[in-house]
Amino acid sequence: MASDPPQTPVPPRKSRLRWWIVLFLCLGAVVYFGGDSVIAYTDDAYVQSDFVAIAPEVDGVVQSVAVTDNQSVKTGDRLLQLDPESYRLALALKQDRVAAAAADADEKTGAAALTASQIDSANAALQLAQQEYNRIKPLVADQALSQEELNRATDALRRAQDQLAEAHTQADVARRQVDLAKTAVETAKAEQAIAAYALFRTEIKAPVDGYVTNLTLRPGVYARVGAPLIGIVDDSRFRITANFKENVAASLAPGKTVWIWLDSHPWRLFPGRVQSVGRGIARNDTPGLLLPYVTPTTNWIRLLRRLPVTIVFDPPVPPGDLYMGADARVLIIR
């Protein structure tokens, strides 16, 4: 009787399971560590723009509000009007002070011109007194005239010299007064310009094109300098801020093509390009830091740090289709 052929032993089920686990871990490691070299993706992204907070440069009661919430505005559009009456009165007062200072300066200038003519008269009188003294002195030496005549000529010469010196002193004082009066005029004009500027700033206009957002302002509110009243989302500065893992962000160059998914426009991909990569992030979320803080994401055990990448739409998307702060997703084919 022929013997049965030998049978190949079947590997235990546990051995096969181990191989599948090892294979799965290897594939996972390849995807985790090498997947970014082919495709980079992040859902930690959002639509960003510049938010302009409009604050008054002067105090006052809000007289009227010219816009409504979520309204589109253009640069130069009127946003609100503060009560201008007190600033009109202040400007009128400054204008009166300019006129008074100018009149005073004209008066001081006329007085200075008078002292200049007095100097000319004193010079002429001194020349006559000097000539008389020069004529009498040799005659007294020749005893043709008495000493008394010489004494009188000497006194007249001294008086003429004193009058000329006094005229020069008065002229110096007059010139200083004219300079002070002119300075007062310039100061009054500067104060008038400041008052006119304050009146002009009671009307607040839009500094950028965009959309008024979260408007709660109503007439009657007292506005203070530097306290924001209206916020505008600049519709010319829309972009995507995408937080990528460090190894991905560090390898991105400006101009790299990306694809953007907006949660506000599902099932549609927008082309874009990398504009810049952030060069620094804060390691903690302490308020007031100028560096951005990006919350690390948990992936297995290690907390991955991410760097912000600024992405612009290419071609640009119409501003009316974008919403600041909306979620986005970014895909990059390496």
Residue 199 sits at the vertex; the CA angle it makes with 195 and 201, to the nearest 5 degrees, is 115
* Tokens encoding 83: 């009560």
Give the Cα-Cα-Cα angle 130, 166, 138 (nearest 5 degrees): 15
Q: Which residue has the higher pLDDT, 135 or 10?
A: 135
Say if residue 35's pLDDT is above 60: no
pLDDT tens-digit readout, 86-134: 999 999 999 999 999 999 888 888 877 777 777 778 787 778 877 877 7
Most confidently modeled of 45-54, 140-149, 153-162? 45-54
Please determine, for residue 325, whether its predicted confidence score (pLDDT) is greater than 50.
yes
234-277 tens-digit pLDDT = 999 999 999 998 888 888 999 999 999 999 888 889 999 999 99
267: left (phi over 0), alpha (psi -120 to 50) or beta: left
DSSP state of 209: S
| Sequence-ordered list of residues with C-beta below 8 angstroms from that of 5, at least 6 positions apart, any chain | none
Show the domains of the chain with their CATH numbers: 38-49+236-333 (2.40.30.170), 52-83+202-233 (2.40.50.100), 85-200 (1.10.287.620)
Token pair of 319 as six digits: 């501003």
Q: How confident is the model at residue 173 (pLDDT cuts 50, 70, 90)?
A: confident
What is the signed CA dihedral for 253, 259, 264, 268, rounded to 10 degrees? 170
How far are the Cα atoms of 2, 249, 311, 324 from residue 238, in angstroms, in the given order? 86, 20, 9, 8
pLDDT tens digit string along 269-306? 999 999 999 888 777 777 666 777 777 765 554 557 78
Helix (H) or strand (E) holding 268: strand 265-277
**Pairing state between β 265-277 and 257-262:** antiparallel
Contact yes or no for 328/243 (Cβ under 8 A): no
Q: Is 275:311 a contact under the CB 8 Å cutoff?
A: yes
Say how far apart CA 97 and CA 95 lie, in whole Å: 5
**Least reliable range by pLDDT among 27-36, 42-51, 101-110, 228-237:** 27-36
Q: Which residue has the higher pLDDT, 43 or 120?
A: 43
Between 18 and 35, the higher pLDDT residue: 18
Range with the poorest average pLDDT among 73-87, 110-124, 194-208, 307-321: 110-124
Split at pLDDT 50, 70, 90, the class of 7 is low
Task: Report which of 52, 50, 36, 45 is spatially closest to residue 310, judged by C-alpha positions.
Answer: 45
